Amino acid sequence: MTVNDTAIEVSGITKSYGDQPVLRSLDLTVPAGTVYALLGPNGAGKTTTVRILSTLVSADAGEARVAGFDVRTAPDGVRRAIGVTGQFSAIDELLTGRENLRLMADLAHLRASEAGARVDELLARFGLAEAADRRAATYSGGMKRRLDLAMTLVSRPRVIFLDEPTTGLDPRSRRDLWQIVRELVADGVTILLTTQYLEEADRLADTVGLLDGGRLVAEGTPAELKARAGGETLDDVFLALTGHAATTTDDNETETLR
């Protein structure tokens, strides 16, 4: 495999907040055009991993390259290649859906004609055409999340980070979002998503990494992991490999980051 085929390459990333270690020498590789799911409870270090890879936070040690750019020395190269949809809504609620998308198109320096077309295309694709000229504050949770993701896609990023993209969504909105992820991958985009939902990792990911206490405790295709742990579901895998269920959580990470 050549370097060009690797979208994300992480080696030995370590990060602490105060004396609280969040990531302990994390290594992972995501081939271009695949979906990698980081699965783990709150506090496992998932969000921190995404924040380091998306240039929001710097690691204490280790190296990370995204789309061939070093996150530390070439953050603007990384930023030109990525799109990020975080755990917390990153839309502007005082603007309409259309204006939110147009804002992103303008910041991506699309030409005016191109920007208008791109905005219309995304509004239609994400089922927001009818609500396009309403303020985002009036949108439902599912619509806000779709707008959030649409904003991320305006600049046609090659690598997309989705931090718990379906947390708090109803089952139908969750399935809609999964469908969008599948379409993105069909277009050749690389996706790193984090999730606490085993079903989500199982359905979407080519590779699943089980993150626990800042370490990758297992990695493989969902089928490989199930075979290794002799379980029926990824739930069983998580329990077998970490000694506790994926949903046994503490909220340390979320709180630290807020």
Partner 1 sequence: MTTMSTSLTEGARDSATLLRRNLKHLVRYPSLTLTIIGMPVVFLLLFVFVFGGTMGAGLPGGSATAHPRADYLHYITPAILVMTVVSVANSTAILVAKDSTEGIIDRFRTLPIARSAPLTGHVLAAMAQTVLGLLVVLAIALALGYRSGGSLAGWAGAAGMLLLMGWAVTWLCVALGLASGSVEAASNAPMPLILLPFLSSAFVPTDSMPTGLAWIAEHQPFTPVIETLRACLEGSDPGSDAWWAIGWCVLVTVLCFRWASRLFGQVGKG
What residues make contact with partner 1 under the rule CB under 8 A? Answer: 17, 51, 54-58, 76, 79-80, 82-84, 86-92, 94-95, 99, 103, 106-109, 135, 148, 151, 256-258
DSSP conformation class of 7: E
**Angle between the 112-125 and 97-107 helix axes, to the nearest 10 degrees?**
140
- Cβ neighbours of 220 (radius 10 Å): 15
Give CA–CA dist 170/163, Å, rounded.
17
Closest CB 79 distance from partner 1, rounded Å: 4
Q: What is the dihedral of CA 238, 49, 161, 167, to 10 degrees?
A: 50
The amino acid at residue 194 is T
- Count CA atoms within 13 Å of residue 27 on its CB side: 4
Which is closer to partner 1, CB of 74 or CB of 129? 74
Q: Tokens 């990911």 identify what position?
A: 205
User: Closer CB to partner 1, residue 5 or residue 106?
Assistant: 106
**Would you say 156 or 175 has its CB closer to partner 1?**
156
Least Cβ distance, residue 75 to partner 1 (angstroms): 9
Which C-beta is closer to partner 1: that of 135 or that of 203?
Answer: 135
Give the residue with the Cβ less far from partner 1, 28 or 53. Answer: 53
Q: Report the nearest approach of partner 1 to the CB of residue 86 (Å).
A: 5
Q: What is the largest distance, in Å, between two alpha-carbon atoms of the chain?
A: 56
The distance of closest approach from Cβ of residue 96 to partner 1 in the complex, given in angstroms and rounded to an integer, is 9
Phi/psi at 190 (5° precision)? -100, 135
Closest distance to partner 1 from the beta carbon of 133 (Å)? 13
| 125 versus 135: smaller Cβ distance to partner 1 | 135
Q: In the complex, what is the shortest distance from the CB of residue 100 to partner 1, in angstroms, rounded to a whole number?
A: 9
Asked whether 205 and 36 are in contact (CB, 8 A), the reply is: yes
155 vs 195, which CB is nearer to partner 1? Answer: 155
Beta strands in the chain, from DSSP E residues, in sequence order: 6-17, 20-31, 35-39, 61-66, 69-70, 82-85, 159-163, 190-195, 207-212, 215-220
Closest distance between partner 1 and the C-beta of residue 78, in Å? 9
Q: At what angle do helices 234-242 and 222-229 cross, to 10 degrees?
A: 50
